[in-house]
Amino acid sequence: MDLELSIIVISLLFFILSGAGADMDVGVYNVKEYGAAGDGQTDSTKAFEAAWCAACAVEGMATIVIPEGAYLLGPIIFKGPYKGKMVMQLKGQLLASTHLEAYTQNWIDFQYINGLVISGGGTFHGQGASTWPYNQCPKTHKCKLLPVSLVFSFVTNATISGISSVDSKLFHLQIFESRDITLDSIRISAPGDSPNTDGIHIADSTNIQVANSVIGTSDDCISIGPGSTNLTIFNVLCGPGHGISVGSLGKNANEKDVNGLTVRKCTLTGTTNGLRIKTWPSSPATLKATGFLFEDIIMNNVYNPIIIDQNYCPYANCPEMDPSLVKIKDIKFRNITGSSVSPEAIKLVCSKATSCEGVELNDIILKCNGDDSQKYDVYLFSCLW
DSSP string, 320-338: --PPP--EEEEEEEEEEEE
Q: Helix, strand or coil for residue 153?
A: strand
Asked if residue 301 lies in contact with residue 264, where contact means CB atoms within 8 angstroms, the answer is no
Annotated active-site residue 99? The verdict is no
CB atoms within 10 A of CB 24: 12
Write the single-letter amino acid at 259: N
| Length reported for the chain | 385
SS3 182: strand
Of 330, 223, 324, nearest to 279 by C-alpha is 324
Which member of 125, 172, 201, 242 is catalytic?
A: 242
Specify the 3-state DSSP secondary structure of 30.
strand
Distance of CA 248 to the CA centre of its chain: 15
**Of 215, 217, 208, 159, whose CA–CA distance to 187 is shortest?**
215
Cβ-contact 131, 161 below 8 angstroms: no
Cα–Cα distance list, 1 to 8, 9, 11, 15, 183 (Å): 11, 12, 15, 21, 51
Question: Which run of H or E residues covers position 5?
Answer: helix 2-17
Question: What three-state secondary structure class fits 58?
Answer: coil
Dist CA 68 CA 371 (whole Å):
49
* Cα distance between residue 252 and residue 308, in whole Å: 19
Strand partners, 307: 276, 347
* CB-based burial, 48-64: b 16+ in 10 Å, e otherwise: bbbbbeebbeeeebbbb
Instruction: Give catalytic residues, as residue numbers.
Output: 242
